[in-house]
Amino acid sequence: MIAPQDIRTADPTIAADITAGYFAFGGRIVNASGRSPFAIDPGDAQGSDHAAAWQRALCGFGWLRHLRAADQPAAGARGRALVTGFLDAHARPSQAVAWEPRVTARRMLAWLSQSPVLLAGADRAFYTRFMQSLAAHRASLAQRHSGGLAGEARLPVALALAEYGLCAADSVALLRAGTAALASEIDAQILPDGGHIGRNPQTLIDLLIDMLPLRHAYAARGIQAPPQLLNAIDRMMPMLRLFRHGDGALALFNGMGITAPELVATILAYDDARAQPVTNARYAGYQRLEAEGTIVVVDAGAAPPQVFSTQAHAGCLAFELSSGIRRIIVNCGAPEVARANAREASRTTAAHSTLVVDDTSSCRFATNAGLARFVRDEILAGPTVVTAERGQDDAGTHLFLSHDGYSARFGLAHHRELTLAPDGGRLEGRDRLEPVGKRAAGAVPYALRFHLHPSVKAHANEDGTAVRLDAPDGEVWLLESDTPAEVEPSILFASAGGPRATLQVKLASDTSRPEVRWTLQRIAAAESRRR
């Protein structure tokens, strides 16, 4: 058996916790106390969302790699004991969480990559049971893939099928079938500019962390990798860079939560071309402006196809701004482990740095309990016509954007213009609402929201025409507008340790004044720049 490389790092601290029986996943820590963790019901002490997330992480075995950092003979014995515990609890494919397609694919990839640790010193009984279970994993995934599995899960499943075909001996037919499934799913889900059809930046990380070892595994077998895999990797690398801020974290759009910067750096180290970031991702629906260390990332895309929209947010035309390693303007992001109310709140338009009409989201979600049983948090309606044009002149780089997410309910289209100065020290904005179709009677309220990173402090002047934004290293930005500003509480959902309190600047008006002009200007450099 060929074992593909796992390019993620192994943490000896986590290895020690696993050896001691502590399993920390999904916002929950469980002490197995000498028992198999697979025989433990994590219960509902912290809510069913935490319990389900813990079970998925446990049964996905993504943590198994950490045992590489432990003493090898002991690591192998511990790993075999844990695999045996899983097989005792979940011997055959079923409808349980442990056999969900994504979880099954993740586990099979983990077992394949860590097979040298698991099989070194293993007796024949374990070896036989392990190999039989891998074959059952493959059969289950193949059946699900050909039997109506829909949405994003099809690509991770295809990756697992292709990798099994490469790793298992004498498996030409299985390799051919897995490679064909992989090529088909890449064509269906990876867009021409390298974005994923579901529009979540985290999906690029999750896919690349498995695609890169798979590319190497094809080479190790002396087999030509499908061109779809090679071309997708080449497109996805610069797309990943589009989302990357100066601190290494990714912009918080459409389901993106906490970034592991070291993981992103590991992935990008495999980018042989060292490609520059995509700036105009028309297919994925994102734009990037960059000048002298200032980065602006903008959501300029329509809602994904419904079956791929379960992670997507109602943040059309929202932007984030960073200056060097300082995050200034952000979106609220996705919670690491979301209870239903937190997840719903994080997906609303109000949780993004954009314009919201009458405190109503630009997308309609399947949040009704009965409806969600059938469409699983999908977006039922949202922007369908989104435009993005770029321009360049002596004043800087311009973006001209619009979306129709408010046309059906309010008869309004949102237009946003952004200009980043050549020195990166000034971002000019103009937001306006224009009537389209049948317009709602009377003046309709709306608000522009600028969510701040928790490290940024905000101080409004007396008449509300300007808000001073202080970064912790002494850099200062000033937000000025022709509309009075208010500083209000906000929350950063995408934060280690749980949601974190922060602030937002709100510019409120109504359609009797359908346009707001504003500027963000750096008025004091960071202390490090002054030296």
**Residues 289-312 pLDDT 10s:** 999 999 999 999 999 999 999 889
3-state secondary structure string across 258-315? CCCHHHHHHHHCCCCCCCCCCCEECCCCEEEEEECCEEEEEECCCCCCHHHCCCCCCC
Q: What is the pLDDT of residue 439?
A: 73
The burial class, CB within 10 Å (0-12 / 13-18 / 19+), for 417 is middle
**Residues 406-463 pLDDT 10s:** 999 999 999 999 999 999 999 999 999 999 977 767 899 999 999 999 999 999 998 8
Q: What is the pLDDT of residue 52?
A: 79
Q: What is the pLDDT of residue 241?
A: 95
Q: What is the pLDDT of residue 226?
A: 95
**Rounded distance between C-alpha atoms, residue 468 and residue 95, angstroms:** 54
Residue type, 321: L
**CATH number for domain 12-276, candidates 1.10.1740.10, 1.10.3720.10, 3.30.420.40, 1.50.10.100:** 1.50.10.100
347-351 average pLDDT score: 94
**Rounded distance between C-alpha atoms, residue 192 and residue 171, angstroms:** 32
**Rounded distance between C-alpha atoms, residue 325 and residue 314, angstroms:** 27
Q: What is the pLDDT of residue 44?
A: 44
Where residue 184 falls among pLDDT bands split at 50, 70, 90? very high
Q: Which helix (H) or strand (E) holds 429?
A: strand 426-435
Asked if pLDDT for residue 526 goes beyond 90, the answer is no
Where residue 83 falls among pLDDT bands split at 50, 70, 90? very high
DSSP-assigned states of every residue in 357-390: ETTB-SSEE--SHHHHHHHTT-EEE----EEEEE
Residue type, 233: I
Q: Which residues, in sequence order, are bridge partners of residue 155?
A: none
3-state secondary structure string across 125-183? HHHHHHHHHHHHHHHHHHHHHHCCCCCCCHHHHHHHHHHHHHHCCCCHHHHHHHHHHHH
Query: What is the overall mean pLDDT for the chain?
Result: 90
Asked if pLDDT for residue 373 goes beyond 60, the answer is no
Q: What is the pLDDT of residue 251?
A: 97
Q: Which of 350, 405, 403, 365 is nearest to 382 (CA)?
A: 405
CA separation, residue 472 to residues 211, 321, 424 (Å): 38, 16, 19
Better-scored residue on pLDDT, 244 or 69? 244
Percent of the chain at pLDDT above 90? 66
CA separation, residue 55 to residues 149, 210, 443 (Å): 21, 21, 50
Percent of the chain at pLDDT above 70? 93
**Rounded distance between C-alpha atoms, residue 466 and residue 443, angstroms:** 25
**Rounded distance between C-alpha atoms, residue 514 and residue 410, angstroms:** 13
Strands (E), 171-228: none
Nearest-Å Rg of the Cα atoms of the chain is 25
**Residues 150-179 pLDDT 10s:** 899 999 999 999 999 998 877 788 999 999
Q: What is the pLDDT of residue 45?
A: 40
CA separation, residue 326 to residues 237, 251, 455 (Å): 23, 13, 9
The burial class, CB within 10 Å (0-12 / 13-18 / 19+), for 525 is middle
Least confident of 187-196, 291-300, 495-504: 495-504
**Rounded distance between C-alpha atoms, residue 247 and residue 262, angstroms:** 11
Q: What is the DSSP letter of 250?
A: B
Q: pTM for the full model?
A: 0.91
- Contacts of 190 by beta carbon, 8 Å cutoff, 6+ apart: 196, 197, 228, 232, 235, 236
Asked if pLDDT for residue 206 goes beyond 90, the answer is yes
Q: What is the pLDDT of residue 5?
A: 86
Q: Which helix (H) or strand (E) holds 232?
A: helix 227-243
CA pseudo-torsion sign 328, 331, 336, 339 = positive
**Rounded distance between C-alpha atoms, residue 118 and residue 460, angstroms:** 60
CA pseudo-torsion sign 67, 71, 77, 78 = negative
335, two tokens: 């919670």
Q: Which of 71, 241, 60 is nearest to 160 (CA)?
A: 60
186-207 average pLDDT score: 96
18-43 average pLDDT score: 80
Name the residue ranges covered by the structural domains of the chain.
12-276, 295-530
Reduced to 3 states (helix: H, G, I; strand: E, B; else coil), residue 393 is strand
239-253 average pLDDT score: 95
**Residues 85-133 pLDDT 10s:** 999 988 888 778 899 999 999 999 999 999 988 998 889 999 999 999 9
**Residues 449-477 pLDDT 10s:** 999 999 999 999 988 889 999 999 999 99
**CATH number for domain 295-530, candidates 3.40.50.720, 1.10.260.40, 2.40.100.10, 2.70.98.70:** 2.70.98.70
Q: What is the pLDDT of residue 147?
A: 86
Q: Which of 395, 386, 446, 389 is nearest to 417 (CA)?
A: 389
Pairing of strands 445-452, 426-435: unpaired
Where residue 369 falls among pLDDT bands split at 50, 70, 90? very low
Residue bearing tokens 């997507």: 312
First and final C-alpha spacing in the chain: 57
**Rounded distance between C-alpha atoms, residue 259 and residue 322, angstroms:** 15
Does 295-530 match 12-276 at the fold level?
Answer: no
Question: Angle between the 172-189 and 124-146 helix axes, to the nearest 10 degrees?
Answer: 40
Most confident of 192-206, 323-337, 486-500: 192-206
